[in-house]
Amino acid sequence: MDRIVLHDYFRSSASYRVRIALNLKGLAYERREVNLADGAQKGAAFRSLNPQGFVPCLEIDGLKLTQSLSIAVYLDQTRPDPPLMPRDQADGAHVRALALTVACDIHPLNNLRVLKYLQGPLGIAEDAKDGWYRHWVSEGLAALEAMAAPRAGAFLFGDSPTLADVCLVPQLYNARRFSVPISAYPTLRRADETASAHPAFAAAHPDRVAQEDLVK
């Protein structure tokens, strides 16, 4: 089988999701960092892999896959054990809704490129930008807490990690980085604590990845 190559950035939430998914599937892969801080994602070399200029991009099975949730679904379809999605259709719809709440409704509004645009072309002050971040993250997490609580277990859904946890953990990592209070979300905090203790999640953590990069 051809080697698996992940083009990512250690602190990118979307990349963090894919690292977790690969680890949960027990797949060995080579990381190639695309330094977002230096603008490497805008260069012709990377755009030949992903015309959007976003990370992650996963080279696997002769394919170049983009968009973190699409990559996770592909991994689940081609390497079904252990599953990232419940087999029951209703349960699957619930888990997708949790994952998409993070990936489509929370994360895009606090993405680095959005925050840079607020401060750059729009001239928004630092405190106003931080207020924007906290507002949208807090609103999204409150909704996620209400959605997840009735059916959560040790993880966001039940007692095994799913795609919902793959999305939750990077989002809470970023929330803490930007000092967003999360004490009001006991379900999310419990799932995050459980997941973060799992080896697949721990190995994907940005601090762990950054440390490994320094050793190389």
pLDDT score for 43: 75
Q: Are 29 and 94 in the same domain?
A: no
pLDDT in tens, the chain (216 residues): 579 999 999 999 999 999 999 999 999 999 998 877 777 687 778 888 888 888 999 999 999 999 999 999 999 999 999 999 999 999 999 999 999 999 999 999 988 889 989 999 999 999 999 999 999 999 999 999 999 999 999 999 999 999 999 999 999 999 999 899 999 999 999 999 999 999 999 999 999 998 877 766
Question: Is the peptide bond preceding residue 170 cis, with omega within 30 degrees of 0?
Answer: no
* 40, 95: one domain: no
Q: Which residue type, as a one-letter code, is found at position 91?
A: D
Q: Are residues 12 and 39 in the same domain?
A: yes
Same domain, 173 and 132: yes
The answer on 190 and 94 residing in a single domain is yes
Considering the domain boundaries, does residue 146 fall inside one?
A: yes
Are residues 178 and 121 part of one domain? yes
Q: Is residue 182 part of a domain?
A: yes
**Distance in angstroms (rounded) separating the CA atoms of residues 75 and 22:** 8
Identify the pLDDT of residue 211: 80
Find where tokens 């040790």 sit.
154
Q: What's the token pair of residue 187?
A: 């379900």
Q: Do 149 and 125 reside in the same domain of the chain?
A: yes
Task: Tell me the CATH number at 43.
Answer: 3.40.30.10
- Predicted local confidence at residue 52, as pLDDT: 82
User: Over the Cα atoms of the chain, what is R_g?
Assistant: 17
Q: At 178, which amino acid appears? A: F
Q: Which pLDDT does position 1 carry in this prediction?
A: 53
Q: Give, as one character, the DSSP assignment of residue 121.
A: T
> Which one-letter DSSP state was computed for residue 64?
E
Strands of the sheet containing 57-60, edge to edge, are 30-33, 5-8, 57-60, 63-66
Residue ending a domain, among 59, 82, 105, is 82
pLDDT of residue 215: 66
Q: Do 52 and 128 share a domain, yes or no?
A: no
Count of domains for the chain: 2
Q: Residue 174: which domain range?
A: 89-201
Question: Are 95 and 185 in the same domain?
Answer: yes
- Residue 208 maps to a domain: no
Q: And the tokens for 88?
A: 């029951």
**pLDDT of the residue at 142:** 98
Same domain assignment for residues 76 and 176: no
Alpha helices (runs of H) in the chain, residue ranges in sequence order: 13-24, 44-47, 68-78, 89-100, 112-119, 126-148, 163-177, 186-196, 199-204, 206-215
Specify if 206 maps to a domain: no
pTM: 0.94
